[in-house]
Structure 1
Amino acid sequence: MSPTVLTPGSTAKRALLAATAAVAALTLAACSSGSAEEEPASSDSAAPDTSAEAAAASYGDIAVQLSWIKNEEFSGEFFADSKGYYTDAGFETVSLTPGPSTGVAELVSGQADVALSDAVSIGSGIGNEGAPLKIIGATYQKNPFTVLSLADGGNIMTPEDMVGKKIGVQDSNTALFLALLAANGLTEDDVEIVPVQYDPAPLVSGEVDGFIAYLTNESLILQAEGHEVTNLPFADNGLPFVAETFSVTDDAIANDREKLKAFLVAEIKGWTDAVNDPAEGSRLAVEEYGADLGLDPEVSAQGATVQAEELVVSDETAENGLFTISDELQTETVASLAGAGIEITEDQLFDMSLLDEVYAENPDLVAYAG
């Protein structure tokens, strides 16, 4: 989701209706407008593959919709491309299309084969719109969204601190924010939602008291600029859902299963590198894949380190491998969606069978720690 600053993120029924409308509006907008220019990824070098079957296969092209711009958030994808893991897996090209986007519209329309999204957005699409989607893995085991505020401004430390405050919310994050409110017994009537873009300038100027952001992005940016910030993490306040989810259509699972598994193998290798060498992941973002974005090297390095140490890994991944989602976290995720009026079951939202097969066929990939 969250932007790196480019200086050249009623009742329960009303919350449900608002969330549904937000997803529908997002779907229409994403279908009718493009984001940043797509840059096809090409793999130049080769690395040893643990699966002879994958190496022998040819899957052609695959289109991946990223949730945000090409910053360190996608360092695993950059490793997979630059070190040839996608090529080894049998892909001719892998297109990494930058967002911002939840990926729902792109998946449903067939513009993307895989979308990096989040559980609330995908759950909203399934539960409220009937979208035939599934989450097959998650890069982030912990939800990185936060209500960011200035310590000498809104200083939002608890959900109750939001009451009566102006909260800057981006279009793509509306459903997420409504879910946060609902999970804490609040509604949109308790706050003033101010439409914003992804630059936190309105927070710094005082136009809003809080701003929907990423812990690994805007929060670090403002601190680097000398601001003392306060964070209200979604994960610690009723929404412990997974994020940067590998999301696909039911049809792809049924008809392109081996292709998706090959993609996951390459992704696991890429994120293994990203976890063990966040500095290089940051460099790839700043100097190569996001070279035209004016990314701050210091902030990018911090973000890459935080995500590698706190978001991507967990007790579950240590035991069962990257991207796996424990039964407990699946249950917590579904419960958090129910609190926002999104009624969906674990089986409707998740299909972990592909990762199960990947790790059964490539057991050496489980041990990612360097």
Structure 2
Amino acid sequence: MRRFVRTAALAAAATLTLAGCAGTAPASSGGSDDHGEISVQYSWIKNEEFAGEFYAYDKGYYEDAGFSDVVGISGPDTGVAKLLSNTVQVALSDAASVGAAIAEEDTPLKIIGATFQKNPFTILSLADGANITTPQDLVGKKIGVQDSNASVFAALLNANGIDPADVEVVPVDFNPTPVMNGEVDGFMAYLTNEALTVELAGYDVTNLAYAENGVPYVAETFTVTDQYLAENQELLKDFLTAEIKGWTHVFQEPVDDTVSLVEKYYNQAADESKDGLESTFGALDPKKTAKGIEAQNLLVSTEETEANGLFTISDDLKKQTVASLGAAGWDVSVDDLFDTSIIDGIYKENPDLKDYLP
């Protein structure tokens, strides 16, 4: 789940000129048959973050929706450049990457739904160490921040009125060892990843979640180009319906069954990888995977999704997302960033799909 936010706009600029001349997939004929093949860019490697997609494959929901194949492409990748060059038709991205591309390069992209209602960013600290429980606890501390996450960390400080000069930023990668060794007081992490790694290593951890501390925005977003959205309404409707059905199983099936399914797709991706997926990331840890599923379900399911359905984005959350991006220096409007008419229409026609909880 690495987010290359700072490079998203540059990548978009490099391919923006291709958007006008690139071909687009055939427009949907208006039914749930013969949509053909589409490609979907995943934001990260094929792990539990895409458990709903794996169920959609495993249960035949994509096929039932009229797709001959849905090609899921492993990340890490924001998908912005590939969308603009029509290399992929849908990207599972995030509001920060998409918002940055729109704000800086006026890229023609729209978020049409979001798996994560809450972004997974956190400032991780040790309970018997710095124990950072409030934004003001950041003052005077050493915080490990990855280069690609610098803008989002700046948004956390900005949203809470903290002078950047009052916090010492230490460049780090995504290995949380520095916080475990006491080299930094806090570490920018994911609730679904590094925070679990440290906890499973035997440490009591404290999380300062961005979504609960002034920087709420959606993540794991279904993102498409404006042109593809305009020309493929029925295709996207059928695709999102299959996704809803797949993610419903994540909440209704035993966690162990979901872990086994994730392991199946992870191992397939490792076997197919040309750059040594398993040698880079290691074998899938079932215990961490189970905890990851439980942690991310808290980001996927909220009171609003219980009322409105998976992937929906309320008007309030749209405004909060735009405000959070503004705090990071990306000026976009709700209409620039979102078009949720398809997902809203799905639930209007099929209200029974809202019932994803067991």
Q: What range is the shorter-chain TM-score in? A: 0.7 to 0.9
Give 3-state SS (helix, strand or coil) of 1:58's partner: coil
1:233 aligns with one of 171, 196, 209 = 209
Q: What is the aligned partner in structure 1 of residue 24 from structure 2?
A: none
Structure 1 residue 266: deviation in Å?
0.9
Structure 1 residue 351: deviation in Å?
0.5
Q: What is the aligned partner in structure 1 of residue 349 from structure 2?
A: 361
C-alpha change, 1:30 and 1:154, in structure 2 (3 Å) is farther
Give 3-state SS (helix, strand or coil) of 1:117's partner: strand
Instruction: Report the TM-score, using the length of structure 2 for normalisation.
Output: 0.84
Structure 1 residue 136: deviation in Å?
0.6
C-alpha change, 1:102 and 1:174, in structure 2 (3 Å) is farther
| 1:24 and 2:12 aligned | no
Q: What is the aligned partner in structure 2 of residue 175 from structure 1?
A: 151
Partner Cα separation in structure 2 for residue 194 and residue 246 of structure 1: 33
More deviation in 115-124 or 22-31? 22-31
Q: What is the aligned partner in structure 2 of residue 289 from structure 1?
A: 266
CA RMSD in angstroms comes to 2.6
Q: What is the aligned partner in structure 1 of residue 243 from structure 2?
A: 267
The CA deviation string for residues 63-105 of structure 1, in whole angstroms up to 9 with x for no partner, is 1111212111110011111111111111122222222222222
After superposition, where does 1:1-370 map in structure 2 within 5 Å?
A: 1=1, 22-25=7-10, 53-54=31-32, 57-186=33-162, 188-277=164-253, 278-290=255-267, 292=270, 293=278, 294-308=283-297, 310-370=298-358
Q: Is the 8 A contact 2:9 2:100 kept in 1?
A: no
C-alpha change, 1:202 and 1:106, in structure 2 (3 Å) is farther
Give 3-state SS (helix, strand or coil) of 1:123's partner: helix
Structure 1 residue 227: deviation in Å?
1.1
Partner Cα separation in structure 2 for residue 172 and residue 263 of structure 1: 31
Q: Is the 8 A contact 1:178 1:187 kept in 2?
A: no
% same residue = 55
Structure 1 residue 218: deviation in Å?
1.6
Q: What is the aligned partner in structure 2 of residue 5 from structure 1?
A: none
Partner Cα separation in structure 1 for residue 210 and residue 54 of structure 2: 27
More deviation in 106-115 or 257-266? 106-115
C-alpha change, 1:165 and 1:113, in structure 2 (3 Å) is farther
Residues matched between the structures, number: 332
Q: Is the 8 A contact 1:168 1:211 kept in 2?
A: yes
C-alpha change, 1:25 and 1:196, in structure 2 (3 Å) is farther
Q: Is the 8 A contact 1:115 1:245 kept in 2?
A: yes
Unaligned runs of 5+ in 1: 3-8, 10-18, 32-51
Give 3-state SS (helix, strand or coil) of 2:143's partner: strand
Partner Cα separation in structure 1 for residue 314 and residue 60 of structure 2: 30
Structure 1 residue 166: deviation in Å?
3.5
Give 3-state SS (helix, strand or coil) of 1:301's partner: helix
Instruction: Report the TM-score, using the length of structure 1 for normalisation.
Output: 0.81
Structure 1 residue 368: deviation in Å?
1.8
Structure 1 residue 187: deviation in Å?
5.3
